[in-house]
Amino acid sequence: MESVSINVSEQTHRALSDLAEEMGMTMGDTLAVAVRRLIQHHMGQDLTARLDAEEIDWLEADLS
């Protein structure tokens, strides 16, 4: 796997390192899981948001 460096605060690095150790994972894998869960959370927020008028009109459109 190709890797890149990112700049994070010492506090974030420490938290990620501690979490990775606790989970028995590498820091990279731990970060990948965290990012995936954040994406899923964001998608969940989008799916539970109220529909706007245009979306409601589209869903109620007569397609016959």
- The pLDDT tens digits for 38-59 are 999 999 999 999 999 999 999 9
Distance between CA atoms of 27 and 3, rounded to whole angstroms? 12
pLDDT one-digit tens code per residue, 12-37: 999 999 999 999 999 999 999 999 99
pTM for this one? 0.72
What pLDDT sits at residue 64? 81
Site of tokens 């890797």: 3
Task: Compute and round to an integer the Cα radius of gyration of the chain.
Answer: 20
Closest CA to 20 of 9, 28, 12: 28
